[in-house]
A and B are shown apart, each in its own frame.
Chain A
Amino acid sequence: MAVRTAHIASSVGLHARPAGLFVALASEASQAGLKVTIGRPGEEAVNAASILSVLGLGIGHGEVVEVGVEGDASTDTESVLDQLVAELSIDRDAEGS
């Protein structure tokens, strides 16, 4: 599994719209047969295509997370990771609480 770290740029953390957008991307990858995970470094990672699992991590602004992608030999895991990490690095002005 290819893993990369990312900082959560969203000011509300990985909730609401930012979570939705990230999970939507991960779902696409998942439907293409890839396994995508997200988690805090050193902790058990969760299925990144599961919005409930991602929200359940309660990840806040500025936190560091690890994103993992696994596919078969033909998968360009680095490019998928690029997209996922890029999504987490955008500070979209999401709704407040």
Chain B
Amino acid sequence: MTTVVGALHGVAASPGFVVGRAVAWRPGQTVAVEAARDVDDASARVVADLRFRAAAATSAEATAVLEALAMFAADPELIAAARARVAAGEQPSAAVRAAAGQYAEQLRGLGGYLAERAPDVEDVGERLADCLAGRAPAVLPEPGHPYVLVARDLAPADTALLDPATVLAIVTEQGGPTSHTTILARALGIPAVVACVGASDRLDGIDVLVDGSQGEVHPAPSAALVEEIGRREGRAAERGARIHGPGATADGVAVKILANVGTLEQARSTAATDVEGIGLFRTELLFLDRTEEPELDEQVAAYAEVLGAFGDRRVVFRTLDAGSDKPVPFLGLGSEENPALGVRGLRTAVLRPEVLDRQLTAFAEAARLTGTEPWVMAPMVSTPVEAERFGARARAAGLRQVGVMIEVPSAALRAGQILKDLDFASIGTNDLAQYALAADRQLGDVAALLDPWQPALLDLVALTCAGAAGRGRPTGVCGEAAADPRLAAVLVGLGVRSLSMSARAVADVRGLLAEVDLGTCLRAAELARAASGPDEARAAVQPLLG
């Protein structure tokens, strides 16, 4: 493999690769224009600008966002509220921000879908304020040639007009696997790398190769590197197109290929694809930003919809994974200095046991209504005692497939004991890496420690599988690690027999597994664990897995 010097690492946000000139964009720089005369004038101008962008937007998603923003900017009550504030003596810019802020707060209090609109309302307040202050909204660079857009972070309205013929790829320093940039890049089909620290300073003005599949950016790539990555991508595409149906190794060892899903919309669209089920359904969608706990009926309806869409296929629900860093107001969690180490996941059930019981009851009722048998697991399980208590409650609610997420190192070390009376384990590699390597998931500066190829993490996976196997229970992986085809083969070699990933990764993972036999996976796992670091681990398995 060609030695790469100076590659920047980030999170693989959208697959594919491209070579182009990088242009760093700092959206704080706005253009000075004639200020709007008053609140009504500002509203008219902002609405016109947003409608123009909506009509010119390059993706259906962007159009929808912009049209909604235009509607907010035109809202007669918002404008009336701002006007009243101006009449009472407030500065026009402050008045529109305050008026928008009030509506945003109201929406936040309603939770769910409505709360998600709150930042958009605030964004409109900012646009109106800028308009009144004589600042025009910043536009993307137009250097006169196609380029790679590099920025600290990107907001929805910034990227709405992004034309994939002009912007070849996106690299941001912030963001993660589910951030807006990631979603947009995938919708447009352009490669993207996020959480790429130092990108703006180091890449501005030079040619780069953006490897969205691996999450790497190579400054000044050699012809050899470009060719090598091109070959790799070509093989992956061809392989992904060929293999269908249930996942298995070349010698027929079954490995279930499942999807990670977080919304009802995703559940519906994923159900229509070639995947064996949902390995992780994040139930937070019903709880985030809510000032009151969702009613049993609402929960039952949502879970039943997911189960109905998947029929006989496996669906694994994860119980509420809340923490002081996630907005779940009705739980009443206090603020914590270290939310990652605080009352989160299953631990919240000690404070509010009835919330967990209601959720478990809802799963059971949804199962009854649809005639299915969902799998249910709890997040952040740390000890066998916790696991036993959870198991007892879940079974008391009528659930039959009960398991836990293994994402705390103590749980990996004690997996056998934890699974004594439970049915399955699912490893959350993202959080397991965070806790095992003592590196904050939100901090770009320590991102290298969170690399799922870290041999120490692989050791914990092996331990978990061994502990579970000792009890005759299956182990799956539902973290980002499962989406990397070569790492997936290593995981299979470590004993993992189900992999749950974002839907876009399914074809590539299934395709690669179909080309290697179990013996090769075992050998790859050995080599990866023997390495002293993630890069060495990748290099070691490369000859075996291609």
Interface residues of A (CB under 8 A from B): 12, 15-16, 20, 23-24, 27, 30, 46-47, 49-53, 55-56, 58, 95-97
Asked whether, in the complex, the Cβ of B106 is within 8 Å of the Cβ of A56, the reply is yes
With A30-B76, A97-B285 given, is the CB distance from A52 to B103 under 8 Å? yes
Nearest residue (CB) in B for A53 is B77
**Chain A hits for B286, CB < 8 A:** 97
Across the interface, A97 reaches (CB within 8 A) one of B68, B71, B74, B264, namely B264
**Can you give 26 A-B contacts (C-beta < 8 A)?**
A12-B113, A15-B113, A15-B114, A20-B68, A20-B71, A23-B71, A27-B74, A30-B76, A49-B76, A50-B77, A51-B75, A52-B72, A52-B75, A53-B77, A55-B107, A56-B106, A56-B107, A58-B114, A96-B264, A96-B265, A96-B266, A96-B267, A96-B268, A97-B112, A97-B116, A97-B285
With A15-B113, A15-B114, A58-B110 given, is the CB distance from A51 to B265 under 8 Å? no
Instruction: State in angstroms the CA–CA spacing of A24 and B51 once bound together.
Output: 14
Instruction: State in angstroms the CA–CA spacing of A49 and B71 once bound together.
Output: 10
**Chain A hits for B67, CB < 8 A:** 20
**Chain A hits for B77, CB < 8 A:** 46-47, 50, 52-53
**Chain A hits for B268, CB < 8 A:** 96
Nearest residue (CB) in A for B266 is A96
Q: From residue 38 to 77 of chain B, which have CB atoms closer than 8 A to chain A?
A: 67-68, 71-72, 74-77
Instruction: State in angstroms the CA–CA spacing of A96 and B285 once bound together.
Output: 10
Instruction: State in angstroms the CA–CA spacing of A50 and B82 once bound together.
Output: 14
Nearest residue (CB) in A for B99 is A52
A27, A56, A96 — which one has the most chain B CB atoms within 10 A of its CB?
A: A96
Nearest-Cβ distance from residue B97 to partner chain A, whole angstroms: 15
Instruction: State in angstroms the CA–CA spacing of A51 and B77 once bound together.
Output: 9
Does chain A have a CB within 8 A of B117? yes
Nearest-Cβ distance from residue B255 to partner chain A, whole angstroms: 30
Asked whether, in the complex, the Cβ of A50 is within 8 Å of the Cβ of B75, the reply is yes
**Chain B hits for A55, CB < 8 A:** 107, 110, 114, 117
Nearest residue (CB) in A for B305 is A96
B71, B107, B263 — which one has the most chain A CB atoms within 10 A of its CB?
A: B71
**Chain A hits for B71, CB < 8 A:** 20, 23-24, 51
Nearest-Cβ distance from residue B122 to partner chain A, whole angstroms: 12
Nearest-Cβ distance from residue A20 to partner chain B, whole angstroms: 6
Nearest residue (CB) in B for A24 is B71
**Chain A hits for B263, CB < 8 A:** 96-97
Nearest-Cβ distance from residue A46 to partner chain B, whole angstroms: 8
**Chain B hits for A24, CB < 8 A:** 71
Instruction: State in angstroms the CA–CA spacing of A12 and B298 once bound together.
Output: 11
Nearest residue (CB) in A for B81 is A52
Nearest residue (CB) in A for B121 is A52
Asked whether, in the complex, the Cβ of A50 is within 8 Å of the Cβ of B113, the reply is no
Nearest-Cβ distance from residue A44 to partner chain B, whole angstroms: 13
Nearest-Cβ distance from residue A76 to partner chain B, whole angstroms: 23
Does chain A have a CB within 8 A of B78? yes
Across the interface, A52 reaches (CB within 8 A) one of B78, B112, B285, namely B78
Nearest residue (CB) in B for A60 is B298
With A30-B76, A53-B77 given, is the CB distance from A95 to B265 under 8 Å? yes
Given contacts A52-B106, A96-B266, 15 further A-B contacts (CB under 8 A): A15-B114, A20-B67, A46-B77, A47-B76, A50-B78, A51-B72, A51-B75, A52-B72, A52-B77, A52-B78, A52-B121, A53-B75, A58-B114, A96-B267, A97-B263
**Chain A hits for B112, CB < 8 A:** 97
Instruction: State in angstroms the CA–CA spacing of A15 and B268 once bound together.
Output: 19
Nearest-Cβ distance from residue B184 to partner chain A, whole angstroms: 16
**Chain A hits for B267, CB < 8 A:** 96
**Chain B hits for A16, CB < 8 A:** 113
Nearest-Cβ distance from residue B89 to partner chain A, whole angstroms: 24
Nearest residue (CB) in A for B113 is A97
Nearest-Cβ distance from residue A17 to partner chain B, whole angstroms: 8
Nearest-Cβ distance from residue A43 to partner chain B, whole angstroms: 15
Nearest residue (CB) in A for B103 is A52
**Chain B hits for A58, CB < 8 A:** 110, 114
**Chain B hits for A15, CB < 8 A:** 113-114
Nearest-Cβ distance from residue A36 to partner chain B, whole angstroms: 11
**Chain A hits for B107, CB < 8 A:** 52, 55-56
Nearest-Cβ distance from residue A73 to partner chain B, whole angstroms: 24
Top 6 A-B pairs ranked by shortest CB distance?
Answer: A96-B264, A96-B265, A50-B77, A97-B113, A58-B110, A52-B103
**Chain A hits for B116, CB < 8 A:** 97
**Chain A hits for B106, CB < 8 A:** 52, 56
What per-residue 1/0 map shows which CB atoms of B303-336 lie under 8 Å from chain A?
A: 0000000000000000000000000000000000
Instruction: State in angstroms the CA–CA spacing of A96 and B202 once bound together.
Output: 40
Nearest residue (CB) in B for A61 is B301
Nearest-Cβ distance from residue A25 to partner chain B, whole angstroms: 13
**Chain A hits for B110, CB < 8 A:** 55-56, 58
Nearest-Cβ distance from residue A38 to partner chain B, whole angstroms: 13
Instruction: State in angstroms the CA–CA spacing of A54 and B431 once bound together.
Output: 40
**Chain B hits for A97, CB < 8 A:** 112-113, 116, 263-265, 285-286
